[in-house]
Amino acid sequence: MQTQTKAAFVKTLPVIASYLVLGFGFGVLMVSRGYPFFWAPLTSLMVYAGSMQYVLVDLLTGGVGLLSTAMMTLLINARHLFYGISMLEKYQHAGRKKPYLIFSLTDETYSLLCGQDPPEVVDRYKYYFDVSSFGHFYWVLGSLIGALAGVALPWDFRGVEFSMTALFVVVFTEQWMTARDRLPAVIGLGSSLVCLLLFGPQQFILPAMGMILLLLTALRGYTMAGEAKT
Amino acid sequence: MSLHGVLTVLVVAAVTALIRFSPFLLFPPGRPMPAYIAYLGRVLPYASIGMLVVYCLRAVNLQPLGAALPDVIAVALTVISYRKLCNSLLSIILGTACYMLLIRVMV
């Protein structure tokens, strides 16, 4: 292996476990809802967005309309907009590799590439490409193994869907512990609870999104994030 | 998979890609980003995770109250183990295993 490909591989070591385990969970979940095994890796290949794919399984089974699906994706993945913004200059001259680098800009890829490049790197775009595609590979592989395990193993995987809840609860707890300002998290949780009570479990998501945007906009001056100057 | 299923996957893939590509199309180097958009970018990740937690638990049965116990206990275990150990994967596995066990022994 080339020295800089090796550097890219070493860089991705911290995300191997999480991509494989979360991918595995996603694969098991997909086949447990009755989808053929190849849909999990195929979805991972095309979408490549961890938490959104867990929600996707739910949208599939719930028979949700395409517009609601698009809105949901927009809100959940909106943060990726800002990964792109901070990589604008870094990827500017990436040439033929640029579309793939942008496509594969997940939370993990961003966290691995937003800092300084290691000293072994001679061709930086090749290095970015390697890091991005290693991650993509683990994610697809994890989904495939999970889907095959779900089909082949005679275990009862009932309840495995809780891995999605656990994932978001962990992210919420982590943000709660580290956020400078908890108001946005409270707005998200509170608006959704209120709308769940008002509109019921089938209909509450769109009103909740509206209420969240409204409150975040109205309370902009009161949140620390609103004061911070970019 | 039904046509609706295939379209759902394609819509998610397309919207996700659109989000990732739009900064490169909208804000070429040297063009500043509106402050309101930058603000939303900082706060939306927090608000949308709160929404997703509620979304995951939307169907929890509260009648009778005991039916919600597996969810309550598994969420509590996930939160507490994460606060103690700060290991996301471990807490996800613990919480899920706990839930899978509880729905078998309690319900």
Residues 6+ apart with CB under 8 A from A27: A37, A40, A41, A142, A143, A144, A145, A146, A147, A148, A149, A150
> What pLDDT, on the 0 to 100 scale, is given for residue A229?
42
- Compare B85 and A156 and report the one with higher pLDDT: B85
Q: Which of A43, A85, A171 sits opposite B23 (nearest CB)?
A: A85
Q: Rounded CA gap, A100 and A97, in Å?
A: 6
A84 contacts in chain B (CB < 8 Å): 19-24
Whether pTM > 0.90 for this model: the answer is no
B46 contacts in chain A (CB < 8 Å): 175, 179, 182, 184-185, 188
Q: Where are the alpha helices (DSSP H) in chain A?
A: 3-32, 39-46, 50-62, 66-77, 80-87, 98-103, 107-113, 124-152, 162-178, 183-199, 205-218, 224-227
Q: Which of B17, B46, B91 sits opposite A184 (nearest CB)?
A: B46
- Compare A14 and B35 and report the one with higher pLDDT: B35
Residues of chain A with pLDDT under 50: 228-230
Round the CA-based radius of gyration of chain B to a whole number and report it: 20
Instruction: Dig out the tokens for A136 from the structure.
Output: 């993509």
Among B3, B4, B20, B83, which would you mutate to test the A interface (most chain A Cβ atoms within 10 Å of its Cβ)? B20
- Compare B57 and B65 and report the one with higher pLDDT: B57
> What pLDDT, on the 0 to 100 scale, is given for residue A224?
65
Q: Which of B28, B37, B74 sits opposite A162 (nearest CB)?
A: B74
Question: Which of A8, A213, A36 is CA-nearest to residue B2?
Answer: A36
Confidence of residue B72 (pLDDT cuts 50, 70, 90): very high
Q: Is A11 helix (H, G, I), strand (E, B) or coil?
A: helix
Q: Is the ipTM value over 0.90, yes or no? A: no
Q: Read off the pLDDT of residues B5-23 as tens digits, 9 standing for 90 and up.
A: 999 999 999 999 999 999 8
A118 — phi, psi (to 5°)? -65, 155
> What pLDDT, on the 0 to 100 scale, is given for residue A122?
87
B82 contacts in chain A (CB < 8 Å): 169-170, 173-174
